[in-house]
Amino acid sequence: MRILIADDSVLLRQGLVLILQDAGHEVVAEVGDGDSLVEAALRLRPDLVISDIRMPPSHADEGLRAAMRIRACWPGAPVLLLSQYVVAAHLPELLGDGEGGIGYLLKDRVTQIEEFLAAALRVARGELVLDPDVVARTMRRGRRRDPLEDLTPREREVLQLMAEGRTNASIAEMLVISEGAVEKHTQRIFAKLGLLPDAAVHRRVKAVLTMLSA
């Protein structure tokens, strides 16, 4: 897999390079700011872009803004964002087009190498992968008008695991139920959230977006 890395910390970039190369991947470029990230991504079209959210010059959300610029020019570009803290508010804006191929992980997750590499592969395949801590915090926070209030506890569990990028088989294994049961829960989630069948809309992504936007 060809990977582009963006982070203003040379130390972190080099650490990511070593982890990815040891796993057999090719790092095609390393950059340290948002403008360079956009230019390199559109020029090289890597299999995966890994970027810190906070980069120069603002050190606020340059990585996020760069990812949105990339996906505006290259729809569905696979981007894995890294963040020091849980800021779930970033996700709805980035997921607004309904496309998969997006990941959002806390930097601490990088130290769990197998999980990090698995997440990178899933994002490169076009899947949505959110850090479990981001999902858990989103599911816990209070809301005045909760679009998820009609979901059963089991359906909430399925949606939470779906947001973590789990397949139906993986969800079934974790919840000790059949894949058929997972599919039924998933269809009920879609129905309760008003996500009707539409070839132009990725309903799993839309369901997670509804959770994050609540």
How much is the pLDDT for 56? 80
d(CA 42, CA 72): 11
pTM: 0.68
| Cβ neighbour number for residue 202 with a 10 Å cutoff | 22
How much is the pLDDT for 27? 96
For every one of its 214 residues, what pLDDT tens digit does the chain have, with 9 covering 90 and above?
A: 999 999 988 888 999 999 999 999 999 999 999 999 999 999 999 999 999 988 887 777 888 889 989 998 998 899 999 988 766 655 666 666 656 688 888 888 888 899 899 999 999 998 888 888 777 766 665 545 567 778 888 998 999 898 888 889 999 999 999 999 999 999 888 888 877 666 445 777 778 777 776 5
* Cβ-proximal residues to 80 (8 Å cutoff; 6+ apart), any chain: 48, 49, 50, 51, 102, 103, 104, 105, 119, 120, 123, 129
How much is the pLDDT for 211? 75
d(CA 54, CA 177): 40
How much is the pLDDT for 200? 47
Residues forming CATH 1.10.10.10 domain(s) in the chain: 142-213
Side chain identity at 213, as an amino acid letter? Answer: S
Q: 213: part of which helix (H) or strand (E)? A: helix 203-213
Residue tagged 């973590």 (tokens) = 164
Residue 164 in contact with residue 135, Cβ under 8 Å?
A: yes
d(CA 26, CA 41): 14
How much is the pLDDT for 40? 97
How much is the pLDDT for 124? 95
The answer to whether domain 2-131 has CATH 3.30.460.20 is no
How much is the pLDDT for 86? 67
d(CA 71, CA 12): 24
How much is the pLDDT for 108? 83
Candidate CATH numbers 3.40.30.10, 1.10.287.70, 1.10.3720.10, 1.10.10.10; the one for domain 142-213: 1.10.10.10
Residues forming CATH 3.40.50.2300 domain(s) in the chain: 2-131
